Amino acid sequence: MPSEIELFPWVVGRLQKAVFFAVTQFRIGPGTYLLDFDSSSFTQGSIGATLTVMQFTWGSKTDEHLCDAMTDEAEKCMQAFVAFEAFAKMQITGLEVARHANNSYFSVLQHIYEFYLAAFVRQHRDTNWTKGFVTKTHKKHFVLDGAFAAEGKRQVDRRLMGIKTGTAPVWENAASYYQALKRLFVVGGVFSPQFGTDFRKARNNLHVSHLRRDLNLTGFYEKYHGVVWLLYCDVVAWKGQNASTIGSQFSILGGIKLP
C-alpha cells in the first residue's frame, strides 16, 4: 500500500486499468460491438451489519436487471438529446427556449452519468465495486471522479488509435481535435480526474441545493462537450445492441398505461 503522498496517482493508476472496458463492450469492426460474458463463479458477501456486497456473473439475473436499467437510461438519454438538439437549433431566441435547451442538456448529462455508473458495476461484476478503492481520505465520489475521467480519456485514446492505424471511419475528426481533448485529462504529464469531478457536479446540479447557482453550464459545455459526445455515442451503441429488451425494461416504470 503506498503512502498518503503517493496515494492519488496509485488510485488513478488502478482505476485506469479497471475501467478500460467499463461498458463491457468494444469495437471489433465498423459498427460492431461485442458484449462479454463470463461463466466464472462469484459469491455474495457482506461488510459490517448493514452493507451487502453483491458480486455477480455476466448473464445472471442481477446482470439482466442491470442491463435493463442501462437500456432504460440509454432510451431516456437519447430522448433528452433529441430535445436538446431541437431547442438548440431553434432560430427563436428568448429565455423560454434557452431554459428548455438548458434543462434538456442537464437531462442528457444525468442519464449518461447514471448509465456509466451501471456500466462500472458491470465491469467489476460487483454492486459495491468502489469499496476496493475508498480510503479514509479518498471517498467514494473521488473514486467515481477518477473512473469517469479514465473512461473519457479511453474514449479519446480509442479515436486517436483508430486514426493512427488507419481504421477510423472516413467521417472521423482530425487527430488534432482529439489531441486537444486529451489535454483535458493529462496536465503537466500527470493524469487529471477533473473531468469526472466537473461531470459529477453538473449532474448533481439537478438536485435542490444552495450550490446550484455555482455551475456555469455554458462553460462546461464549451470545455467538455466533445468528451460528453464520445460517451453519448457508446450509450447510443448500447441502445442499438439491446433494442429487443425495451419491452422488459419498460416494466421498470411499473408498466404505465396511457389512455
pLDDT one-digit tens code per residue, 202-259: 998 765 555 555 678 889 999 999 999 999 999 999 887 765 554 444 444 455 554 5
- Residue 205 CA to residue 221 CA, distance in Å, equals 14
The pLDDT of residue 4 is 34
Top pLDDT among 169 and 34 is at 169
The pLDDT of residue 236 is 93
In sequence order, the 6+-apart residues with CB closer than 8 A to the CB of 227 are 152, 155, 156, 181, 184, 195
The pLDDT of residue 158 is 95
- Residue 226 CA to residue 123 CA, distance in Å, equals 24
The pLDDT of residue 214 is 61
Q: Where are the alpha helices (DSSP H) in 125-243?
A: 140-165, 175-182, 194-204, 217-241
Top pLDDT among 62 and 44 is at 62
3-state secondary structure of 46: strand
User: What are the backbone dihedrals phi and psi of residue 45, each rounded to the nearest 5 degrees, phi first?
Assistant: -130, -170
The pLDDT of residue 239 is 81
Element spanning 25, H or E? strand 25-29
In this prediction, residue 42 has a pLDDT band, given cuts at 50, 70 and 90, of very low
In this prediction, residue 130 has a pLDDT band, given cuts at 50, 70 and 90, of confident
Pairing of strands 44-47, 51-54: antiparallel
CA dihedral defined by 164, 170, 175, 179, rounded to 10 degrees?
A: -110
- Mean pLDDT of the region 170-196: 94
pLDDT reading at 186 higher than 70? yes
Assign residue 42 a region (left: φ > 0; alpha: ψ between -120 and 50; beta: otherwise).
Answer: beta
Handedness of CA 152, 154, 157, 163 (dihedral sign): negative
3-state DSSP: the chain helix, strand, coil percent, rounded to 5?
65, 10, 30
Of 21-35, 75-89, 125-139, 225-239, the poorest mean pLDDT is in: 21-35
Percent of the chain with pLDDT over 90: 43
pLDDT reading at 132 higher than 90? no
- Residue 42 CA to residue 249 CA, distance in Å, equals 25
Handedness of CA 43, 51, 13, 231 (dihedral sign): positive
The pLDDT of residue 244 is 55
The pLDDT of residue 208 is 57
Of 65-74, 86-95, 150-159, 180-189, the poorest mean pLDDT is in: 86-95
Q: What residue segments make up the domains of the chain, in order of their start?
A: 10-245
Q: Can you read off the three cell numbers belonging to residue 138?
A: 479518498
